Amino acid sequence: MEKLKIVPCHIGIIMDGNGRWAEKRNLPRIFGHKEGIEAVRRTVKAANKYNIKYLTLYSFSTENWKRPKEEIEFLFSLMEKKLREEGENLHKNNVRVRFIGRIQELPPNLIEIIDYVEILTKRNTGLNLIFAINYGGRTEIIDGIKEIIKSGHSEKEINEELLSKFLYLPDVPDPDLIIRTSGEKRISNFLLWQSAYSEFYFTKVLWPDFDEKEFLKALLDYQRRKRKFGAI
C-alpha cells in the first residue's frame, strides 16, 4: 500500500449528504445530521492522527437559512449540545476550537457555548478545528471590505495582502486541500478567497459514512498531485 509522506497543512471539508443518507434509509433528515456528528468525530480523530494542523468544517452556510425552520432549529440545538459535550474532551486533547461566520446572528445559547469553547481552548497548540457556522465566502469578503473602509485605508492601499488581513481568521493559512462528500462537484460559497489555489477532492461517499479510510484516500490523492500555483 502507498505510504503517506506528504500531508496538507490545512484541509477544508464540505460535509454534504446528511439528508440523502437519511432518505436512503427512509428516515427523517435529522437522523442524517445525528450520524453526521459521528463522522465529524471520526474525522477530527483522523486529522490528529495524520498531523493535520488546520481542519475547517462547513457546518452551516448563510444559504442554509432557506431550509425548513424545524430542521434549522434542530441543527442549532444539536450543535449546542455536542459543543457542550465535546468541548472539555477537545480541550484535554490539546485541540484549539475556532469559529468563522456571522456568529452574532446565531441563537444566544449557541453563541454562549461557542464563546466558552473558544476561550477554553484558546491556548491549545494542537489541531486547529474550525467550524464555519452561518458562513459564506462572499459574505466574508464583503465583511472584510467593510472593515477596511472602517479602518480608513485609502484606495491605493487596497491589495490582496490587505484584504487577507481583514478576513475572519487572517492567521490561518489558505487550505491546501478541500474535500467534498456526496458526489456533488461545486464549492458552494466555501472559502472562496482562500481556495484560489487549493486542490479539490470529490467523493461519492455521503458524509455520515465518511471515515478514516476515506480521509486517507483523500490524503493519498493529494500527495500525488504537483502544485504549481500558476507556475510551470
The set of catalytic residues is 16, 64
CA 190/CA 12 separation, integer angstroms: 9
Please name every residue paired with 13 in a beta bridge, in sequence order, or none if there are none.
57, 179
CA separation for the pair 194, 132 (Å, rounded)? 13
Pick the closest to residue 72 from 84, 83, 61 (CA basis): 61
**For residue 231, what are the CA distances in angstroms to 174, 199, 223, 228?**
18, 15, 18, 5
128: β partners: 54, 96
Residues 180 and 11: their CA atoms lie apart, in Å, by 11
- Sort residue 95 into left (φ over 0), alpha (ψ -120 to 50) or beta: beta
